[in-house]
Amino acid sequence: MRRVWFVSDTHFGHEAILGHCRPQFSSVEEMDEAIVENWCTTVGSGDLVYHLGDFCWSPKDVSKYRARLSGTIRLVVGNHDDVPACCAATGADGRRAFQRVSLWRQFPEYGFVATHVPMRREQLRHARHSVHGHVHGNTTGLEPWHRDVSVESVDYRPIAAERLRQWVIDTAREGFE
């Protein structure tokens, strides 16, 4: 059975991010290897991953990093993604690196909207919850109906859609919808 996953802000190849929010890694190579290994032990080859932006630091590296990751990836672009490069990137087999590239995506079946940046309540047209990245684990100022899936917040691996659906149910039950 195909599973659906979410993740954001892998920032493959981005050395400066180590000092910003990933001090546990001694090098960008160590960081990249940890994320790739976690991804591939979590995501099956037939699975679908929604990557909510900031895939890699250099547009020329999109294909290189994509080739190492399992599953089909749909990209919701982030502020560091080069949209033309992401749309044009292909793998060794000639297929596109990302099955789809979009600015945001509604998930009525899960009860949330997925974007790179956290959305304000009035921006959520058909949902009550915002799944996003961008904040790298710093959830100060966010509401209970925001869920950060930056790698720093999800143990450097994609998080299952089922867990996000349960979060929507739990926050609604607690009166935070």
Q: What residue spans define the domains of the chain? A: 4-173
pLDDT band at 126 (very low <50, low <70, confident <90, very high): confident
Q: What is the DSSP letter of 154?
A: T
Give Cα 165 to chain centroid, integer Å: 16
pLDDT band at 135 (very low <50, low <70, confident <90, very high): very high
Domain 4-173 in CATH 3.40.50.300? The answer is no
How far is the C-alpha of 170 from the C-alpha of 174, rounded, in Å?
6
Indicate the SS3 state at residue 167: helix
Q: pTM for the full model?
A: 0.96
How far is the C-alpha of 34 from the C-alpha of 86, rounded, in Å?
23
CA atoms within 13 A on the CB side of 26: 0
